[in-house]
Amino acid sequence: MVVVTMLLASCDDFMDIVPDNVATLDQAFSMRNTTERYLFTLYSMMPRHGANDQNGFMLSDELWGVYPYNTNVAWRIARGEQNVVSPIQDYWNGGNGGRRLFITIRDCNVFLENVVKVPDIEEMELVRWSAEAKFIKAYCLYWIFEKYGPIPIMRENLPIDAGVEEVKVRREPVDDVISYIVDLMDEAIPGLPDVIESEATELGRLTKVAAMAIKARVLVTAASPLFNGNTDYAHFVDYHGNPYFNQEYSEEKWRIAAEAAKEAIDFAHENGHELYYAETGRLGQVKLSDTTIIQLGIRGSITERWNCELLWGDPNNRLAQVVYTPRSWDPQISLYGLSGRYGPPLKMVEQFYTDNGVPLDEDKEWDYRGRYELAVAEHSDRYNIMAGYTTAKLHFKRENRFYASIGFDGGVWYGQGRFNDNEPFYLMGKMGQSAGVIDREFHSPTGYWPKKMVHPENEVRNTGYVQVWYPWPIIRLADLYLLYAEAANEYGGPSDEVYQYINLVRERAGLPTVQDSWSNYSTSPDKYLSKAGLRSIIHQERTIEMMFEGYRHSDLRRWKRAVAELNGNFISGWNIRQSEAPAYYKPRVIFVQEFTPKEYLWPLSEHSILVNPNLDQNPGW
């Protein structure tokens, strides 16, 4: 019998997690079928990657809600409400949108200790199932580590007769935690299948490709400034007086991360993974424009089920697409259940490049100062903006990822039952229009919608909203390409290979190469030639490509850019309660964010510290 101890929220909780009796546990591992169900339960206990309150896309400034009607728990962190009394998204003890991941880790240990006892399990299954449990354990440890930094490591469960002092575990240094997580992943990877062969029953289970890609993400995190030589935590020490965070920057960590990412990329390619490009004619469409095809490829990399780019997906995706979908595109159909009440702020809209592939404020040919002025769309704009419609200049001559990811007033929203791109739906978001404000709650607070998260085959009907389910992407190939480019640049600086993997992502978006875009269109034409300049490009490229997938908050933190990006940050949108373009297109501030250095690490609850004084609180909390 076993028990997890560092999680203790109270003595009662401690007793709650002791198995009731030996027979119950023995029964779980008495036959193959019950053991397999136990394994699937471990999968179900992982983070809900596509759940609105558990994913990271509401933690920073990617999306904003309608206050006070939006009750998303995670959004409270973006609003500066994190606290030690009842922590938000508490992955240490569970609660407020956080899952009890230490319980998941405990149950992984239980599985690993007992799976060898199953009488009718085949050797191949024993190897694979054990590998899956090890990796789930490592992944959950990483999920907690990424938010809290030094954590206790549950190498094995404590015996049921463990003494009081054994129960009061301690946090371990950052490098030790990473080393254990990576070692556990390395143990698991050989036992996993290269690919899923029984797709009807096993999609979503771990493969070597998925595990190698996640291992690369772990190592990139460990090499990043938050965890690599972070002298801000010099006085955050363990009971021996040693800093929890290493105090000397190691470039070698970037080399190790780059090698892991490249190994994962090569193995993914060998097993048939490639960037997703849209197929034409799949839905019986008429011939589509190149513009629409490119944008469907971008959207499909997220929403196309089990596509070739997806390295690991969460089949338990509980993403409520109704809250990201405009109330209607059709003035004749308006559904109250479609709230569309999450909106990207103007800052996120402005992250996307111009059609020349450089930032708005760097493009020599783009009118940055006049971006909020009005312009009328021409016939040549028709695949992105309704011809003859008056909208902001900000919406013209932008890259395809902008049009694929962002819904805006006057913009095309391809699909949703209309598959002829010469007769699409157009989003109209001003007061009194089909997607505009009708009450206090059901509208976008910014005048923008996260189109990327909404499946193109969803359909608004008079009788209701038909949603097409898709697995949430935990990691996909474009993500891995950019992780590799980042690590390789940090270790060796700009190179042809670094450019290659950035350019593969840009090519899918219909953009010129980094070299061509900056050389020909940027006011800083040599930017890509230096490590610092290319770092800035990679960061923005990653922000654009991974928009609304939940990684901006963790990226800003690991880059130690969160204070600069979020503290004093204006969350702005259009003047959405106006019905005429000149009044509507006036930026207005909705909220001013605060982010202080203590928020780089999340707090343990006061009660956790009270129950176990050996757990040091994170600095500032």
Helix (H, G, I), strand (E, B) or coil at 600: helix
The verdict on residue 136 lying in a domain is: no
User: What is the predicted pLDDT for the residue at 103?
Assistant: 96
When pLDDT is cut at 50, 70 and 90, the band that residue 21 belongs to is very low
CA distance 282 to 437: 35
Say if residues 484 and 352 touch (Cβ distance below 8 Å).
Answer: no
3-state helix, strand, coil in the chain (%, to 5): 40, 10, 50
- Give the Cβ contact number of residue 408 at 10 Å: 26
Q: Name residue, tokens 């950019």.
A: 482
DSSP 376: E
AA letter at 379: H
CA distance 407 to 411: 6
Say if residues 602 and 83 touch (Cβ distance below 8 Å).
Answer: no
CA distance 600 to 282: 45
The verdict on whether omega for the bond into residue 159 sits within 30 degrees of 0, i.e. cis, is no
The verdict on residue 267 lying in a domain is: no
Name the percent of the chain lying above pLDDT 90.
83
When pLDDT is cut at 50, 70 and 90, the band that residue 617 belongs to is very high
Tens of pLDDT, residues 187-222: 999 999 999 988 889 999 999 999 999 999 999 999
Residue 281 confidence (pLDDT) above 80: no
Tens of pLDDT, residues 293-323: 999 999 999 999 999 999 999 998 878 898 8
- For 529-568, b where at least 16 C-beta lie within 10 A, e where not — what string? eeeebbbebbbebbbbbbbbbbbbbbbbbbbbebbebbee
User: What is the predicted pLDDT for the residue at 285?
Assistant: 63
Q: Return the minimum-mean-pLDDT range out of 53-62, 131-140, 538-547.
A: 53-62
User: What is the predicted pLDDT for the residue at 464?
Assistant: 80
Residue 160 confidence (pLDDT) above 80: no
Handedness of CA 464, 465, 468, 469 (dihedral sign): negative
The verdict on residue 407 lying in a domain is: yes
Give pTM, 2 decimals: 0.95
Tens of pLDDT, residues 333-372: 766 568 889 999 999 999 999 999 999 999 999 999 999 9
State the average pLDDT over residues 612-618: 96
Handedness of CA 586, 592, 597, 602 (dihedral sign): negative
Residue 165 confidence (pLDDT) above 80: no
The verdict on residue 614 lying in a domain is: no
Distances, alpha carbon 399 to alpha carbons 275, 352, 353, 359, 364, in Å? 18, 7, 6, 10, 15
- Give the Cβ contact number of residue 79 at 10 Å: 16
Tens of pLDDT, residues 114-137: 999 999 999 999 999 999 999 999
Q: What is the mean pLDDT of the chain?
A: 92
Helix (H) or strand (E) holding 543: helix 531-545
The verdict on residue 463 lying in a domain is: yes
User: What is the predicted pLDDT for the residue at 567?
Assistant: 98
User: What is the predicted pLDDT for the residue at 284?
Assistant: 56
Question: Computed over its alpha carbons, how large is the radius of gyration of the chain?
Answer: 25
The verdict on residue 10 lying in a domain is: no
The verdict on residue 374 lying in a domain is: yes
Tens of pLDDT, residues 395-408: 999 999 999 999 99
Residue 261 confidence (pLDDT) above 90: yes
Residue 460 confidence (pLDDT) above 50: yes
State the average pLDDT over residues 235-263: 97
Domain count, the chain: 1
Q: The domain containing residue 328 runs over which residues?
A: 320-470
User: What is the predicted pLDDT for the residue at 439?
Assistant: 85
Q: Name residue, tokens 């024993």.
A: 126
CA 287 from centre of chain: 34
The verdict on residue 476 lying in a domain is: no
Say if residues 34 and 28 touch (Cβ distance below 8 Å).
Answer: yes
When pLDDT is cut at 50, 70 and 90, the band that residue 17 belongs to is very low
User: What is the predicted pLDDT for the residue at 331?
Assistant: 73
